Amino acid sequence: MGQSDLLVTGLNEINRVGPGDLVYVDHPKYYAKALNSAATTVLINKEVDVPEGKAIIVSDDPCRDYNRLMERFMPRPGWNRDDVSIGEGSEVHESVTIGPHVRIGRDCLIMPGVVLYAHTTIGDRTIIHANTVIGADPFYFKKRATGYDKMVPGGSVVIGDDVEIGALCTIDRGVSADTRIGKGTKIDNHVQVGHDTIIGERCLFAAHVAIAGAVVIEDDVTLWGQVGIPSKLRVGKGAVILGQSGIMSSVEGGKSYLGSPATEARQKLREIASMARLPDLIKKLED
């Protein structure tokens, strides 16, 4: 339906679509978002009015058919070392596992036990500490009556210059696009970064931070230990989220946040101080 002569140049899920992409949608909640997105072709489970300049493919199971397209046009490349590039001055320990089409920049240090999945790109002067995994599959499934169908991944991870990633971190590749970490960002041990997340420049993440998929973290953000960021939220430039906090919605930049659900730190501290006074206030009322 629609313009049958349109060329599909990419496959992308809804969070990262662009012109020329095919996107799938199978839930009424997201129909409008998909139809009004930049995608050129929409794979959908309902006949709808075709937006100008787009093509519609109607399927009884868009997720299944999207997976079939991914398997055909973006198959897993295996674990050979075809087309691997390691820049001048970089030290890569002999125990590092490197998949095909991996790019490592100049003067990098890749420590023992690191795993770099296919299509990972690492900038210059970047350090990755022991047993970190870059490019594992997204945690992204379609719930069925019989269980969960795995979304076939085709994305990658792109890490900028002068990044340092601690030991035992996991950075998942995008479902169909890139997970990105901006230049100068520093990440402590035991940090999880979900699929399709975009992390800006000069960010600082302490240990045990957990970031879900499709999050946008702008430049100069600090996340202290055990902070949790749910999927599809945005953290504004220069924000600071204090330890063990969890945001429930996107937050503005240039402010500090505390608690779970997190609010501005000064307000949260006033609330904590007020809570501490409650027993005395209740006792006075009872007297």
pLDDT attached to residue 30: 87
- What DSSP character marks residue 14? G
pLDDT of amino acid 1: 61
pTM above 0.85, yes or no: yes
Residue 176 lies in a domain: yes
Give residue 99's domain range.
85-265
Question: Last residue of a domain, which of 52, 73, 94?
Answer: 73
17 lies in the same domain as 63: yes
Of 101, 119, 190, 195, the catalytic one is: 195
Gap between the Cα atoms of 149 and 147, Å rounded = 7
Based on the fold, state whether residues 147 and 247 are members of the same structural domain: yes
229, HSE (Cβ side, Cα atoms, 13 Å): 36
Asked if 65 and 100 sit in the same domain, the reply is: no
If asked whether residues 241 and 119 sit together in one domain, one would say yes
Are 124 and 236 part of one and the same domain? yes
What is the CATH number for 190? 2.160.10.10
Amino acid at 134: I
Any domain includes 5 = no
- Does 25 map to a domain? yes
Tell whether 17 and 46 lie within a shared domain. yes
- 279, part of any domain: no
CATH number of the domain to which 64 belongs: 3.40.1390.10
- The total number of structural domains in the chain stands at 2
- Residue 44, domain member (yes or no): yes
1 assigned to some structural domain? no
Residue 190 lies in a domain: yes
Mean pLDDT by 10 residues, the chain (287 residues): 74 86 90 90 88 89 92 89 95 97 98 97 98 96 92 94 98 94 98 97 98 97 97 97 96 95 84 73 70
195 is catalytic: yes
Q: Are residues 164 and 261 in the same domain?
A: yes
Quote the CA–CA distance of 276 and 270 in Å, as a whole number.
10
Does 113 share its domain with 18?
Answer: no
Beta strand 216-217 pairing with 198-199: parallel
By CB atoms closer than 10 A (0-12, 13-18, 19+), residue 240 is: buried
Spatial CB neighbours of 280, under 8 Å, sequence gap ≥ 6: none
pLDDT of residue 68: 93
Q: Which residues of 28-37 are buried (b: 16+ CB within 10 A; e: fewer)?
A: eeebeebbeb
Tokens representing 64 are: 């299944």
In a domain, 3, yes or no: no
How far is Cα 89 from Cα 214, in angstroms, rounded to an integer?
Answer: 34
User: Are 100 and 169 within one domain?
Assistant: yes
Per-residue pLDDT, 287 = 65
- Whether residues 99 and 124 fall in one domain: yes
Of 24, 41, 73, the position where a domain reaches its end is 73
Same domain, 243 and 137: yes
What's CA 7's distance to the chain center, in Å? 28
Note the pLDDT of residue 266: 81
Residue 218, Ramachandran bin (φ over 0: left; ψ between -120 and 50: alpha; else beta): beta
My answer on whether 68 and 101 are in the same domain is no
Q: Is 262 helix (H, G, I), strand (E, B) or coil?
A: strand
